[in-house]
Structure 1
Amino acid sequence: MRTASKFISLGLAFAFAVASPVLAEEKAKPFTDAKEVNLLNLLPPPAANDSAKTKQEVGELLSIQVTRTKAMEDRAIADVEENVWRFADVVNNPKFTKDNLPKLAAFFDRVVETEAAVVDPAKDVWKRPRPHLLYPDLVKPVVPLSKSGSYPSGHTTVGTLMGVVLANMLPEKKDAIMARAWEFGWNRVIGGIHYPSDIEAGRISGISIAQTIMQHDDYKAEFEAAKAELRTALGM
């Protein structure tokens, strides 16, 4: 029995040693949270499930559902990814990659985590059911399904937030970047997973978060380093 126990202990120790590098990999730290940016105080509550507003929004979704093209669906599916590299088409430079821009990548990892830290608590309070959960026989999303709260749209929040931050790094491309950020959010409606009012609330949330974190010293320092790296790589 002692021998067996010894082998078991060694096996567990080996397994922990192999797994520990993965466990030790720290998640990016948000720049702020729901205590500082309380969306419950910033946004109006979502429309009730049986309200005329919700019914009107579902009607809009159903209209889009029968008119969206395969190209629109593909774009919505691609925009499920929540990272700054989705702006590559408007940055339009082959150097705009994670491998070429490690400081920018690490900085935007924190930006993305900031959205979740602010938005998820509000979603959990409002618990607005997604369109496909409220009308499962009618609404057919083309993007991965979710049971999390629909309001506000986290994708739209992070897309708007990333857009504002990236536009501040590349003011020469501000209009194209912000248009892409708006599209990123609206693709959640195209995909059938959000109501239009979720998108509107997400845009407000993203701008509010951006305005808040821009005042933080750690944000300012990392922003300047990432901006310098980006502009140097792009030859700007």
Structure 2
Amino acid sequence: MLLDMAGEFQTALWETAWMLGIATLFSIIIGVPLGIFLFATSKGMFWQNKMIQSLAGTIINIFRSLPYMILLILLIPLTKWLLGTTTGPTAASISLTIAGIPFYARLVETALREIDRGVIEAAEACGASSWLIIKEVLIPEAKSGMIAGLTITMISLLGYSAMAGMIGGGGLGDLAIRFGYHRFQTEVMIATVIILIILVQLIQWLGDRLAKRAKKVAQS
């Protein structure tokens, strides 16, 4: 039975990779600057602004507090407006992206807070501009933590992508629901779970290796 569905599994795996790739890319592109902004506007930092920091933090926390399924449903009108459809992996990637950005932004902020303040103060004492500090101090020092945070984000997004299959998002979740649940093909459900476990392990393994390498570079 599973061999007969090899094509279905291949398509579902590609759709999951597509959703995860889009969401991860935009989580990096927007989440990293947003996390840096949250850190830089916090108390004692070079862009300190309590009002802006609180406002941005509140908005991020609102999105983070929403369960993914609720967020997925809330974003259906936006998805329809942007793409003209609410089904398929590309449509599902919009909700994944909106879920991933605030999640990763907070992890980036956390990684930055682990930097020794003395390093930042030393750069400021040398007359370095805020942008130079971000480029030459913050990002290099926090890179290991940011990679670890991205690993966590990708694993979370992988789980969300499976849930997106419940409303026609495609991917492994959709395959498990259509065949494993509605058609009572238990072997399909089990195979899907095994594939997701393998993907999580691969992401975690690669993320750990990259994080360790970045940490060694920062310490050298």
Task: Give TM-score scaled by structure 1 length.
Answer: 0.27
Task: Give TM-score scaled by structure 2 length.
Answer: 0.29
